[in-house]
Amino acid sequence: MQLINVAILGATGYTGAELIRLLDAHPYFHVSHLGAHSQAGRTLGEVLPGIQEPLARQRLQAADAPLADDIELVFTALPHTAAANAVASALAAGKKVVDLSADFRHQQAATYAEAYGVAHAHPELLAQAVYGLSEWQAAHIAATSLVANPGCYPTSVLLPLIPLLRAAVVDTTQRIIIDAKSGASGAGRTPKTGLLYGEINEGLSAYGLPRHRHAWEMEEWATALGKTAVEVRFVPHILPMTRGMLSTIHLRGHDAGQWRGLLQQAYADAPFVRVLDEGVLPSTKGVAGSNRCDIGLAYGASGRDGLDEVTVISCIDNLLKGASGQAVQNANLMFGFDATTGLPLHAQWP
Ligand SMILES: NC(=O)c1ccc[n+]([C@@H]2O[C@H](COP(=O)([O-])OP(=O)(O)OC[C@H]3O[C@@H](n4cnc5c(N)ncnc54)[C@H](OP(=O)(O)O)[C@@H]3O)[C@@H](O)[C@H]2O)c1
């Protein structure tokens, strides 16, 4: 089979680097174009020391450099707002696009403006974007030219939440409390004072308050895909580790004893979602380097109102299932390949 040429715009960032690693080992995709911004003109090897020859010798193109006719697929791993323009150009040139930014994750431009504080540069493209939560949107992803790859925190929260909402066992009369933690790579490679070693090492801090941008995304897609109106209180934290994400979701509802079975049934045919047995809780180590989401449940005593209290813990690698891994999973679906093609199932250990 002839390889499919792909472009990675934002190749020098953390998600771009992970895309390169995955796609260079992929049996059907070939990385033929690397786009950058401040690093344009340098070779990839000068900017990413972990890349092997011959890719390391490839020169980084300017972000707006034209894409060759034989490129069929473009990954945009760019900051939001910059991504919208790159996506519009790629679509106009007839390419399929997987956008890793937030620019096409909301169905309404007004929601995007509220969450991100800027007007959307290409609201006319929102209707054709498919929210790329792979396990729930496979048929739509296969039929579109533009996939909006979900955010990392929303991926970790929506995967356990959607089946429970669909089964109508969760009390949604009150906001769902989500306490989440991410490794520092979640904030990207672009230097920021708050990400210096001396600032985050041996520490833990909350950020994004009073309302982090991903709260809008969680609510929109929990409501749309869970088929129940949902509101969340979401507080993210940054941890002094490189990669990994753990979301603790505090739920109340009924028939808690059935929840694990509901989730196991929902993901019985989903190789990247693992619902753990009773007494087993997930960890960031257990998914680091893999495209998996591991989900664990713990039941508490019923509250005064008789509702069951359930703590759901969900772990992903923010750069894999939370970004580049899910992006490749979506690209597989867009081109009719098995969703698992070229993606790591096992975690690196230790
Ligand atoms: N990190 C994560 O865990 C994660 C998870 C899910 C989604 N995302 C999303 O994925 C996107 C990329 O994230 P990242 O973590 O890879 O970011 P990053 O490490 O900061 O990399 C940003 C990339 O975009 C390029 N760039 C910066 N400013 C640009 C501009 N104005 N125009 C064009 N290109 C520009 C940079 O090029 P130079 O290096 O050449 O300047 C670099 O290649 C973001 O939208 C982010 O929100 C990230």
Contacts of 205 (CB under 8 A, 6+ apart): 237, 238
CA 350/CA 31 separation, integer angstroms: 30
Q: Average per-residue pLDDT in the chain?
A: 97
- The atom of ligand 1 lying closest to the CA of 63 is 33
Q: Which residue out of 100, 103, 213 has the highest number of ligand 1 atoms within 8 Å of its CB and is therefore the one to mutate?
A: 100
pLDDT score of 305 more than 90: no
Q: Which residue out of 8, 14, 245, 328 has the highest number of ligand 1 atoms within 8 Å of its CB and is therefore the one to mutate?
A: 14
CA of 19 from ligand 1 middle (Å) equals 12
pLDDT at 1: 78
Report which protein residue has its CA nearest ligand 1's atom 34: 37
Phi/psi region, residue 94 (left: phi>0; alpha: psi -120 to 50; beta: rest), is left
315 carries an active-site annotation: no
pLDDT in tens, 264-289: 999 999 999 999 999 999 999 999 99
Domains of the chain: 4-150+322-334 (3.40.50.720), 153-320 (3.30.360.10)
End-to-end CA distance of the chain: 37
**Amino acid of residue 345:** L
Structure tokens at 322: 């939370």
Confidence bin at 124 (pLDDT 50/70/90) = very high
CA of 15 from ligand 1 middle (Å) equals 7
Catalytic one of 67, 102, 147, 152: 152
Select from 52, 85, 68, 63 the least CA-distant residue to 12. 63
Pairing of strands 96-99, 29-36: unpaired
Structure tokens at 145: 């030219």
pLDDT in tens, 174-187: 999 999 999 999 99
- The atom of ligand 1 lying closest to the CA of 102 is 45
Q: What is the pTM of this model?
A: 0.98
Residue by residue, what is the 3-state secondary structure of the chain?
CCCEEEEEECCCCHHHHHHHHHHHCCCCEEEEEEEECCCCCCEHHHHCCCCCCCHHHCECEECCCCCCCCEEEEEECCCCCHHHHHHHHHHHCCCEEEECCCCCCCCCHHHHHHHHCCCCCCHHHHHHEEECCHHHHHHHHHCCCEEECCCHHHHHHHHHHHHHHHCCCECCCCCEEEEEEEEHHHHCCCCCHHHCHHHHCCCCEECCCCCCCHHHHHHHHHHHHHCCCCCEEEEEEEECCCCCEEEEEEEEECCHHHHHHHHHHHCCCCCCEEECCCCCCCCCCCCCCCCCEEEEEEEECCCCCCCEEEEEEEEECCCHHHHHHHHHHHHHHHCCCCCCCCCCCCCCCC
pLDDT at 262: 98
Backbone angles phi, psi at 330, to 5 degrees: -70, -40
Confidence bin at 301 (pLDDT 50/70/90) = confident
CA of 77 from ligand 1 middle (Å) equals 5
CA of 79 from ligand 1 middle (Å) equals 5
What is the mean predicted confidence (pLDDT) over 63-82? 97
pLDDT at 302: 78
CA of 107 from ligand 1 middle (Å) equals 22
Question: How big is the chain, counted in residues?
Answer: 350
**Pocket of ligand 1 from Cβ distances under 6 Å:** 10-16, 36-39, 63, 77-80, 82, 100-101, 151-152, 185-186, 188-190, 318-319, 322-323
Look at 186-200, 260-274, 294-308, 331-345 and tell me which has the smallest mean pLDDT.
Answer: 294-308
Pairing of strands 232-239, 205-206: antiparallel
CA 103/CA 328 separation, integer angstroms: 18
Q: Which residue out of 89, 134, 190 has the highest number of ligand 1 atoms within 8 Å of its CB and is therefore the one to mutate?
A: 190
